[in-house]
Structure formats: structure tokens, C-alpha cells
Structure 1
Amino acid sequence: MDMVTTILVCILSAMAASLSSAGGVGGGSLYLPILDLVGGLDLKTATALSAFMVAGGSLSNVLCNNLLLLNGSSIDYDIALLSQPCMLLGVGAGVVCNVVFPEWLVTALFALFLGLSTVKTFQAGFVCWNAESDGVVRVHAPAGGKGVEEALLMEEEEGGAGYETPWAKLAVLMLIWLCFFVLHVLNGDKDGKIITRVRPCGLKYWLITSSQVPIAIGFTAYILYRRRRNRHNKPDQQKVGKDTVVYNTIEALPVVVFPMAALLSGVLGGLFGIGGGLLINPVLLQIGVPPQVTAATTSFMVLFSSSMSMVQYLILGMKDIKQALVFSAVCFVASIVGLVAIQRAIVKSGRVSLIVFSVSAVMALSAVSITCFGAVDVWRKYIDGKNMGFKLPC
């Protein structure tokens, strides 16, 4: 990639990071077409770079929510705890699939997934628009146009008051991440040369890899047990304010909803180099979680899953690390700028759904462009007689 192309990719990636930071999605579906079509990279290389960019943007989003905007209480750590083990398990499976699957299949699956996600995001946007319209009717002042703006400002101030970071839950999340990280390090890189000399695709390799399944199930079962025990010990304790909706929604759902959705989003995130937020985000919106809580929680979860994808690509022998760090830094800064600007626009206009619709439109264009480019690329490889089949995972 020459200097002019690199600068153009950085500019477009910064714009994509600014847009994606509003809804809490990682932006991988926007980065991939940019790296593929503009940067001229093949889809697998673009996928690995995208994992770094998603991690950088999500990190700045989480830091900005907790430190700069003072609305860290919007993050629902219960949803994150319940979903994270299965999401990280899915990331590992997705990265292996990325290595095994031929590029034409990755392109087809990506186009299908992005098309479905576009429809879901448009639906979430319409739901959000209708909810905002209902809110205008309820809070509009009879004598003027200040009612909505004042209500929004008051809600934002209440959200940031008296918030304390739940360090115990953060510690459990970090422990989960470290457990999966240790397993990947033990397996080593593609030549088995990290700490232990584990032969790729050997018995020890698959034993270590398959141990992710009981670890994910064990953590999920433990978290569910602790939730039920705490609810039994404190039956009268209820969350108040905007958290009441989230609390009641989680309690009314089957316990497997969040882990299964997280597992699927993790697989897709590892396969396509995205953080999985494009799947989790519509799910949370459709089950009734408020948009601001959805955005903050999704961004927080994407940080863990995308960082795990990033580590796995490094272990698998990824090249162009300096370039990946540059793009990641660009997305880090752009996400902060975009999040601050979008928050101000939301307070001024009172409509978060406008951002959801804009991201949906970009996703639709990305689905069309990546499908067309992928079809042409697959045809060229077929004409050249290149290998179009599956590969070994190691």
C-alpha cells in the first residue's frame, strides 16, 4: 500500500470510526470494504487489520464513556458478564474458520451477514425513531419547544450522578479474558513456537483448544448461579431509573438467550474481523434494552472480543503489525472525536435514530460493494487456476 492510498484509507477509516462509535458497534463492516476496495488488500489481510482497528475504536469508546462523558453507568455489566465467556469462545472458532475457509466462502458469508445486519439495523432505527416520536409527545412543553431538550439534558445528568465502577465484575471479566488468552498462548503460533512446543493440529493442540468449551460453560454457569443467589439473598432490592427496564428484561428472558447470541456474534467476529457488535446491538434493542445502554454495553463487549481476535491473529503469525497499529491509532482518535460530536448532536436534535439510519445506509453500500468485488476476485482466481478449496487450520 503506497503513501497516498494509506492516507486515503486513514481518512475513510476515521470517518467510519466516527460513525460507528455512536451506536457502539465496532465498525468492522465499514473498515473491511475500505481496506479491501480502497486499500487493495485481500479479504483475509483486511480482516486481520480490521481486528486491530475495531479494538482501537472500542477502547476509545469505552474510555470516553467512562472518563469524558461521565455516563459509564449506561454500561450494563450483568449483560456483559453473561455474554462474554461464550463470545470469546466464538471468537476462537471464528478465527479458525477464517484460516480454514476459502476466500470465496468468507466473502459470501460476509455479504450474507452484512445484508441481514443492515435489515436488523434499519428495523432498530425505525423502532428508535418511533420511541423518540412518542417521547416528544410526552415531554413537549405546552407553550414552547424546550420541553424535549430539557428532558434529555436532565436524563443525561441523572445517568452520570453517583456512579461507581463495579470493580468486582470488571475483575471477573478480566479473568475470563486472561483464561482464554493463556490457552491461545499455550497453543503457540502457526509453527508452535511461543512457550510450549505444541505441534499444530496434534493431540495436545486440540485438547487445549477444546478446553475453551468447558471454561466458557463453567464461567457462564457460575455467573448465573451468583445472580440467582444474590437475587435470593436480596429479594427486595430493585434497580431504579433506566436500569429497571434492563433488569426486568433480563429476568423475563430464557437464560440461554444472551450466551447463544454472544456465541454466534463471537464466531462471526472472529471470521470477519469485526467485534460482533452488529449482531449483539440489534438483539439488545429488540428485547427492549434502551438505546444508550445498548450502545455503551455493546461497545464494552466488543472491546473484549476484538482484542481477543487481535491477539489470535498475532499468534497465528500476522504480518504488517506496524500498519495495523497506525490504523488502530487513527480509529482510536476518530472514535473520540465522533462520539463527542454525536453526543452533542443528540442533545441538540433529540434523535439518536438519525445516526442509526446513516450507519445502516453505509452498511448497505458496503454489502453491495464487497459482494461485487468478491465475485470479481473469485472469478479471477478461478481463471488463474488457484486453489479454491479449504485449508488446514494450522
Structure 2
Amino acid sequence: MKHTLFLKCLFLLTILSSTSSKSGVETSNTVEGIGIRSAAVAALSSLAAAISSAGGVGGGGLFIPILTIVGGHDVKTASTYSAFMVTGGSVANVAAYTLWRSGGARRLIDCEMALLCQPWLLLGVSCGVVLNVVFPEWLIMLMFVVFVAGCTFKTCRSGAACWRLESRGFREETKNGTGESTKMPLLRATADQVEDEVRTPWVSIGMLVLIWFSFFALYLLRGNHYGHGIIEIEACGTGYWIISSMQIPLAIFFTSWILFRRKSPTNSTIASTQQENGGRTRRRPSSELVFPIMALLAGLLGGVFGIGGGMLISPILLQMGIEPQVTAATCSFMVLVSSSMSALQYLLLGMKQIYAALTYAAVCFVASLVGLTVIRKAILRHGRPSIIVFSVATVMALSIVLMTSFGAIDVWRSYTTGQNMGFKNPC
């Protein structure tokens, strides 16, 4: 019922904010500088962060409509705040998943999967942002509804199938007189897994840091669509597109390096054949290229929709049979990499209202910890990881309602004011 309460609160707060603006009453700030709208945004964002944290998705599809509809911010400011809010929630998720693997528990964050996905996810987001400028608003809204609605349906179906499998396992345990194996699926590991699963993959983490700095350096050199960067460069000029195109060979280089490293004799155990090993789905070497393609598609659509790739890549991983806990933890890690890059770019390029963005990020940090703790306790108590799958579906359904409502208002405003409703020049 959380999503029903969330929609009711958003509807009532929207009515109240619009009524106060029509009456010409200025909303006075409190002594701490936080007004009614800011408090409403913080309350709704904390609820959205708590729901999003369970599925490992960033929550940008919820934060942006909240900031624009309730907070009254423009889309540019809302996108800036959203990057910090997603980063705050992702920091909490990654920290929690890292700490909860103590006591011999297997590692939930799959750094090898993140290595294969991250370069292409970042490349896809950059290409999607360009397409977002070119495509008309009505086409973007239509694509968003069709794609996310389809993903929501498939995610719900996967959650239902996972729920049935869990129920069948409970019945078999009851019949056999046991009840231990599925009650703690989140943190249990076999003795054979402990050495590989508990060991911190410092080499993989170092490669991810190198990928982060490489793409971040390109973004800073290129600047944004308005020509704001660390060097003087013409927006959409020759240098702009040359630097942007450098992301393609960079992604190919990192992927080739990662695949070569995985096939080396010292890492042959990593590229093992696909098997169920304590719940984690292992990958065949022949299927490794599926992950970059999937990440590129998720990043491309995420850039077009303006929501990031976390909400799109999570249901795809679930459809591929990746364990829900591993999907949530790994997606949180990948979302942290991409959102932190965006947030730091905003900081270095001279964003305003930094303290407000950091305040919202802190709210999302705390709310994500609370939401993740509640979900974890529910999984440990009831032995149902399918809760994570349903959490992802809930976030996607809420995003459809909010983003579609906001998009429809924007399309109608463009139509009534006589703006161009066709394709646009990327520059």
C-alpha cells in the first residue's frame, strides 16, 4: 500500500501548492530556511528513496516529478538536485551491502558484472542525452510509457514466479521436516564459496575507479550543451563532438581489457561455466558480451527519458535470471558510479544552491538506510527475496504515473504556446 499512500500525498500536496500560488500567498521560510514546499519535497523524497533502495534503483524517475510538481523547480534545477539525491541514496545502499557481507557472508555486489556494464552504461547515457534533445517531447513520453510499462509487467511476472518458487520451497521443507535453507537466503554461503565470495576484489575496484576518472575527464573537457566546461570550447562545435566520440574507443578499450583479463589463466576460475552456486547465477564466457549490450541499451533509453539507467537495467538483469539480492546490490553500485559523476560535474561547473542539494542528499541517505534495513529484515524473517523484485516493479509503476503526468502537462504547454512539436537540431 506504500505506492497508494505515496500517490495520495503527492496529489494533495500538488493541490495545496497550486492553491497557495493562485491566492498569491507567499510561502514563508522557517528560521532554518526550509519552507513548506521544501519540507514536502523532503518528506516525499524520503518515502521515494526508501522504496527505491530495496530494488537498487536510483529513484530519479520519482525525484524529478516531486521536485517539479511539489517543489516548483524547473526541470534543469530538478535534474541537478536529483543527481545528488540519487548519489546520497546509492552511497547508503552500497555501504549497507558492503557491511552486511561480514561474518563469512558472500559478496552481493558483483564487481565483474559492473565492470562489463559500466563503460557502456555511461556511453549509452551520453548518447541518450543527445537524442533527448533531438526527439520531440510527445515521442519521448510515448516511448517511456511503452517501454517502462512492458518492463513493469515482466518484472511483476518475474516476482510472481519467484514468489511461487519460494512458496514451493517452504512446502517441501515443511514436508521434509526442515526449515533452515531458505530462511536466510540473503546472507548465507556455503563453505566452498567463502574464500572467493568474501575476498575484496581490489583489482576490479581499481579498474572501476579508472573507468570513472577516464569518463569524468572527458565530460569535464567537453562541458555541457551550453558550453560550460573547464576549457573554452564551442558548444556542439568540432572539438565538442570529437571529445564526445572519444567515449566509444574508451568503452571498447576497457571492455577488451576486462575480457582479456577474465580469460587469462590466473582468472580462469572467474570465467566459470554457468551454474547455480548458492543462488548466484554464473556466466558463460560466450554470454559476456550480453552485459555490455544490455548496459548500452539501458543507458541509451535512460538518457532519452532523463532518469538514468538504474531503473532500466535492474529489470533486465532480473529477466536474465540474476539473483534479486545480487541485482539490487550491483545496480546500486553502478548507479553510484554514474550519479556521483553527474553530481561532481554540477559542483565543478559552478552550480547554485549547493546546500539545498546536499540537504536533499542527506535526507535520501537516511531514508535509503531505513528502507533497506526494513526490507532486509523482512527477507531474513520470511525468506522471500521476491520482495526486492516487487519493490522494483513498484518504483517503475510510480515512475510511469508521475513522469507521464508531468510529460503530458509539458507537451500540452508546448502545444498551446505554439512551440515546435517535431524533431529538433541537437545543437
**In the superposition, relative to structure 1, how do residues 230 and 272 fare at CA in structure 2: closer, same or farther (>3 Å)?**
farther
Which of the numbers 145, 152, 165 marks the counterpart of 1:131?
A: 165
- RCO higher in structure (CA 8 A, sep ≥6): 1
Q: Does 1:57 align with 2:89?
A: yes
**CA displacement, residues 131-182 of structure 1 (integer Å, 9 cap, x when unaligned):** 2123213433745xx715x643376243896612111100001101111001
Instruction: Report the secondary structure of 1:112's partner residue.
Output: helix
TM-score of the superposition, structure 1-length normalised?
A: 0.86
1:42 positional shift: 4.5
Tell me which residue corresponds to 2:300: 267
Alignment of 1:185-264 (within 5 A): 185-190=220-225, 192=227, 194-230=229-265, 242=277, 245-247=280-282, 250-251=283-284, 253-264=286-297
Q: Does 1:178 align with 2:245?
A: no
1:317 positional shift: 7.0
**In the superposition, relative to structure 1, how do residues 62 and 381 fare at CA in structure 2: closer, same or farther (>3 Å)?**
same
1:351 positional shift: 1.9
**In the superposition, relative to structure 1, how do residues 318 and 116 fare at CA in structure 2: closer, same or farther (>3 Å)?**
farther
Higher mean alpha-carbon deviation, 228-237 vs 50-59, is at 228-237
2:400 partner amino acid: A
**CA displacement, residues 8-40 of structure 1 (integer Å, 9 cap, x when unaligned):** 111111111111111211122222332343334
**In the superposition, relative to structure 1, how do residues 190 and 317 fare at CA in structure 2: closer, same or farther (>3 Å)?**
farther
Alignment of 1:227-376 (within 5 A): 227-230=262-265, 242=277, 245-247=280-282, 250-251=283-284, 253-311=286-344, 320-376=353-409
**In the superposition, relative to structure 1, how do residues 235 and 33 fare at CA in structure 2: closer, same or farther (>3 Å)?**
closer
Higher mean alpha-carbon deviation, 63-72 vs 22-31, is at 63-72
2:64 partner amino acid: L
Separation (CA, whole Å) in 2 of partners of 1:52 and 1:62: 15
Separation (CA, whole Å) in 2 of partners of 1:43 and 1:122: 30
**In the superposition, relative to structure 1, how do residues 258 and 239 fare at CA in structure 2: closer, same or farther (>3 Å)?**
closer
2:214 partner amino acid: C
Separation (CA, whole Å) in 2 of partners of 1:330 and 1:298: 21
Tell me which residue corresponds to 2:8: none
**In the superposition, relative to structure 1, how do residues 129 and 187 fare at CA in structure 2: closer, same or farther (>3 Å)?**
same
1:240 positional shift: 9.2
Separation (CA, whole Å) in 1 of partners of 2:353 and 2:108: 36
Separation (CA, whole Å) in 2 of partners of 1:68 and 1:79: 20
**In the superposition, relative to structure 1, how do residues 204 and 225 fare at CA in structure 2: closer, same or farther (>3 Å)?**
same
Higher mean alpha-carbon deviation, 88-97 vs 132-141, is at 132-141
Instruction: Report the secondary structure of 2:281's partner residue.
Output: helix
1:184 positional shift: 0.9
Which of the numbers 142, 160, 165 marks the counterpart of 1:108?
A: 142
Instruction: Report the secondary structure of 1:222's partner residue.
Output: helix
Report % sequence identity: 50
Q: Does 1:27 align with 2:59?
A: yes
Q: Does 1:384 align with 2:422?
A: no
Alignment of 1:11-26 (within 5 A): 11-26=43-58
Separation (CA, whole Å) in 2 of partners of 1:311 and 1:229: 35
Separation (CA, whole Å) in 2 of partners of 1:167 and 1:19: 31
Higher mean alpha-carbon deviation, 47-56 vs 213-222, is at 47-56
1:361 positional shift: 3.9
Structure with a larger share of its residues in helix: 1
Q: Does 1:122 align with 2:122?
A: no
Alignment of 1:150-169 (within 5 A): 151-153=182-184, 156-158=187-189, 163-169=198-204
Higher mean alpha-carbon deviation, 235-244 vs 345-354, is at 235-244
Q: CA RMSD in A?
A: 3.2
| Equivalent pair of 2:52/2:392 in contact (CA under 8 Å) | yes
Number of aligned pairs? 389
Separation (CA, whole Å) in 2 of partners of 1:115 and 1:244: 28
Tell me which residue corresponds to 1:4: 36
**CA displacement, residues 63-119 of structure 1 (integer Å, 9 cap, x when unaligned):** 111125635701111111111111111122223334444444443333333322312
Separation (CA, whole Å) in 1 of partners of 2:380 and 2:255: 37
Q: Does 1:75 align with 2:106?
A: no
Higher mean alpha-carbon deviation, 95-104 vs 254-263, is at 95-104
Tell me which residue corresponds to 1:46: 78
Higher mean alpha-carbon deviation, 286-295 vs 107-116, is at 107-116
| Equivalent pair of 1:25/1:278 in contact (CA under 8 Å) | yes
1:316 positional shift: 7.3
Instruction: Report the secondary structure of 1:26's partner residue.
Output: coil
Higher mean alpha-carbon deviation, 340-349 vs 189-198, is at 189-198
Separation (CA, whole Å) in 1 of partners of 2:417 and 2:270: 67
Structure 2: segments with no counterpart, 5+ residues: 1-16, 18-26, 28-34
Instruction: Report the secondary structure of 1:140's partner residue.
Output: helix
Separation (CA, whole Å) in 2 of partners of 1:312 and 1:93: 17
Tell me which residue corresponds to 1:85: 119
Q: Does 1:37 align with 2:72?
A: no
Structure 1: segments with no counterpart, 5+ residues: none
